Structure 1
Amino acid sequence: MSGPDPAPPRVLFVGGLGRSGSTLLELLLAQSGDVCAVGEVVHLWERALGADERCGCGERFTACPFWRQVGDLAFGGWDAVDRDDVLALKDRVDRTRHIPRLAKEALPPEQLADVRRYADLYTRIYRAALAVTGARVVVDSSKHASLAFALRWAEGLDLRVLHLVRDSRAVAYSWGKQVRRPEVVDGEDFMPTFSPFEVSKLWTAQNAAFHLLASRAKVLRLRYEDFTADPAGTVRRVRDFAGLPDDPAALRILSAEAADVASEPAAPFRAHSVAGNPLRFSGGPLTVRRDEAWRDRLPRRSRAVVSLATLPLRVRYGYLGQRGSDESVERA
């Protein structure tokens, strides 16, 4: 007689446009033993399996004991994964242009089969990561709205989405800087850069998509500025959204001094994260400090372009002095 079906793996998916503080928040959450942070899993197929880039622990993906165990449990070994097939499936499912289709109440059988097969790959990874670590929640900071929409079709997955928002002007300034990718071992590579207008389009599209998703899944909206003003309160609120109790030990390492907050774990900590901000390789005490360099360094013309192009959502999020809705939990 078989036992009861295992509980669906619970994943906290961090969504939004990059350069909004997701890596730092993920690392803070992972200070607690009941949280497992795996970075941006959406890039695993190309950067980890394809290029064998470094895990957040410092080892190459293929040499990381954690990811070896995850691969064994999820697929019987990473060698069993047909990467070309996964990338082709990803192209059919996980693209921004597919969001209108993924947002529908029903899908044709062939499309539904593709979406669920794609989502099952992630579900297997999440379940294996929880089994390896003994954690209760896995954090995936992939951010891509299209992946979040695909995951809502997964069978046997407890999906909770954290929609992380940052002032569009700060995001535009950050995406204009050249940042080296330390995970690249064989050679040198840099994160992409985007013009202020390109960032404005991406920022609007991604955030608008998560508004749409909020009518179909569990979504908590959080502003970067509120996170940096009160890291401890943020960690507590996000843990509650993820169905986790307070962790006094984790909260003690956070000071709630606005805009200049130091977090000092007992020992250097690195998450087994694939892709993300270079911060994940620091290995030392985490520091939460609001970065507002954009106020002085973003050129006036660029600031004007971004301000105008993103005005409707900046108003909605309270960046013009109006009250935002960042503390609301929206449910289907």
Structure 2
Amino acid sequence: MGEFSCRSKQHGRPALTPDITVLYIAGHGRSGSTLVGSVLGLADGYVYVGEARDVWRDGLIANENCGCGQKFRDCPFWTAVFERAFGGFDTPEAQSAGRRINRINSWREKLPLLWLAWRFPRGHGASNGYTRPLTKLYTAIRDVSGASVIVDTSKTMRYGALVAATPGLDVKLTNLIRDPRGIMFSRLQRARYRDGSLKPSASGYRQSHVFRIIGKWMLRNALAARVLRRNGGVRLRYEDFVKDQGWYLRTTLGDEAAKNVVRKLAEGTGRDAVQHQIAGNWVRELKISPSERWRTELPWFQRSLAGVLSAPLRCLYRSQAFHTR
């Protein structure tokens, strides 16, 4: 799955009623979603695209590096996706879609989308201005990759609700939860591109106030918990995953596919680790090992305050599979 393959030479418009499975990973930023998504992308029939909500900003506008190492507009995978979905990167349709999707970060849109995340309807409930370009984007990703499942680590419940409300997209939710002290320590580090160079410093990488991080951690996980109880899915503690990937992979992929992924990890992933993810932190060779540097390197006051504020929910949240009612 690491190398893209365009199984269809046709560049026609995708149908608006596809049946596409999106494995959506929700949670706080710097929770390890790039690692989990990269591992899932090793499974046959799965394609990992990183944070698809940032395709428009980090890819189409900023032309940042794809996970394969090339600039977004030079990447053959994303070139084929946008050609198939919108006729290219710079067509009026693609530019209009980008402007529309990027509005989800505006204050005017945040409250309505938060309400949508609370309800999390399937296949309805969102404006066509959002759902039409999302249908085309995910359909093109499916067609170009040849995959049956798209792994999207966009993490926010607002965007996840938009994807779930898009007709033809079947969202399977994984709520990835990391100890917020680990998140805080990770945010002190700058993310890197595939060549090892540092990504530009941005709001997502600066040290944030403890209460801001804990508040967002609580809100996203609470919304995800509500959706899991109603619609099913998986809650996964990052600390559990880095110690043993087996349970989550078996629960998500099935026994045989999980065995194949575990074997690839044991043998060394090589080129399979090269995937076309947008945003996130590039993962080198998928060498998985627990890291709790925050215990000694995160400032004492931040570590203690975050530990006290998050303690009740950290005790409550355990890796668990939820079944659809």
Please, what TM-score do these two structures have when normalized by structure 1? 0.81
Q: What is residue 87 of structure 1 aligned with on the other side?
A: 102
Q: Does 1:23 align with 2:27?
A: no
- The answer to whether the Cα contact below 8 Å between 1:13 and 1:139 also exists between their aligned partners in 2 is yes
| Moved segments of 4+, more than 4 Å | 4-7
- 8 Å CA contact 1:9, 1:123 repeated in 2: no
What is the alpha-carbon distance in structure 1 between the residues aligned to residue 153 and residue 213 of structure 2?
19
Alpha carbons 1:183, 1:275 under 8 Å: kept: no
- Cα separation, 1, equivalents of 2:56 and 2:167: 21
Q: Give the C-alpha shift of residue 227 in structure 1.
A: 0.6
Of 244-253 and 230-239, deviating more is: 244-253
Aligned to 1:278: 282
Aligned residues between the structures? 302
Contact 2:192 2:198 in 1 (8 A): no
C-alpha RMSD of matched pairs (Å): 3.0
1:126-169: CA deviation from partner (whole Å, max 9, x where unpaired): 22112112111010010011111222211111110110011122
**Distance across 1 between alignment mates of 2:38 and 2:116:** 33
- In structure 1, the partner of 2:6 is none
Q: Deviation at 1:180?
A: 4.4
2:177 to 165, 176, 197: 165
CA distance in 1, matches of 2:108, 2:289: 37
Partner amino acid for 2:292? E
Q: Quick one: distance in 2 between partners of 1:138 and 1:19?
A: 20
**What secondary structure, in the 3-state scheme, does the structure 1 residue paired with 2:23 have?**
strand
Match of 2:167 in 1: 155
SS across alignment from 1:141: strand
Would the alpha carbon gap of residues 158 and 93 (structure 1) be closer, same or farther in structure 2, given more than 3 Å must change?
farther
Structure 2: 5+ residue stretches without partners: 1-14
Map of 1:259 onto structure 2: none
Q: Give 1:135's aligned residue.
A: 147
What stretches of structure 1 of length at least 5 have no aligned partner? 256-262, 318-323
Take 2:153 and 2:43, find their aligned partners in 1: how far apart are those partners?
Answer: 17
Matching residue of 1:258:
none
Secondary structure of 1:23 counterpart: helix
Contact between 2:49 and 2:278, CA under 8 Å: does it hold in 1?
yes
Report SS of the residue matched to 2:215.
helix
Distance in structure 2 (CA, Å) of the matches to 1:159 and 1:103:
15
Return the alpha-carbon distance in structure 2 between the equivalents of residues 19 and 105 of structure 1: 24
Trace 1:1-332 onto structure 2 (pairs within 5 A). 8-80=19-91, 81=94, 82=96, 83-88=98-103, 91=106, 95=110, 98-104=113-119, 112=125, 114=127, 116-175=128-187, 177-182=188-193, 189-191=200-202, 192-193=205-206, 194-240=208-254, 246=257, 248-255=259-266, 264-267=268-271, 269-279=273-283, 282=284, 285-317=285-317, 324=318, 326-332=319-325
Greater share of helix residues, 1 or 2?
2
Q: TM-score, normalised by structure 2?
A: 0.82
| 1:44 to partner: Cα distance | 1.3
Deviates more, 1:24-33 or 1:63-72: 24-33
